[in-house]
């Protein structure tokens, strides 16, 4: 059986740090900026805009903005961001990367 998914992408500016970073990358213990790249996917039931790109992207951006209101997010890894975005968007898959280079993927059931 063939299934389809849609996806949207966007970026957001964020700051974080890794308090327990190994000495080899000790600079990561300090607060630093990234441009986080996000890709969110949802399954669709049919091929005629079951979900609309612009609506989903707007909702996902708003969800990230709400998550950023939690000051604890400055301790979050890409893995944590991906899991939280997955939960609040009801997506099936979320990728989050730092500056489009290194990142993590969260998959729902």
Mean pLDDT of 71-85: 95
**pTM (predicted TM-score):** 0.93
- Over residues 33-41, mean pLDDT: 98
Give CA separation, 72 vs 24, 31, 46, 76, in Å. Answer: 25, 12, 39, 7
| Statement: residue 53 has pLDDT above 80 | yes
Which residue's entry shows tokens 């991906």?
82
What pLDDT digit, counting tens, does each position of 13-24 carry?
Answer: 999 999 999 999
pLDDT at 31 over 80: yes
Domains of the chain: 4-107 (3.30.479.10)
Helix pair angle (78-89, 53-68), 10° resolution: 120
- In which band, very low, low, confident or very high, does the pLDDT at 71 lie, cut at 50, 70 and 90? confident
């Amino acid at each position: 059986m063939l299934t389809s998914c849609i996806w949207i992408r966007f970026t957001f500016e964020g700051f974080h740090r890794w308090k327990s970073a190994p000495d080899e990358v000790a600079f990561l213990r300090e607060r630093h900026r990234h441009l986080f790249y996000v890709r969110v996917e949802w399954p669709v039931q049919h091929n005629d805009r079951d979900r609309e790109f612009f609506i989903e992207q707007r909702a996902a951006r708003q969800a990230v903005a709400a998550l950023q209101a939690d000051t604890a997010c400055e301790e979050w890894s890409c893995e944590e961001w991906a899991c939280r975005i997955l939960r609040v968007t009801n997506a099936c898959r979320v990728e989050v990367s730092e500056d489009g280079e290194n990142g993590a993927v969260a998959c729902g059931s």
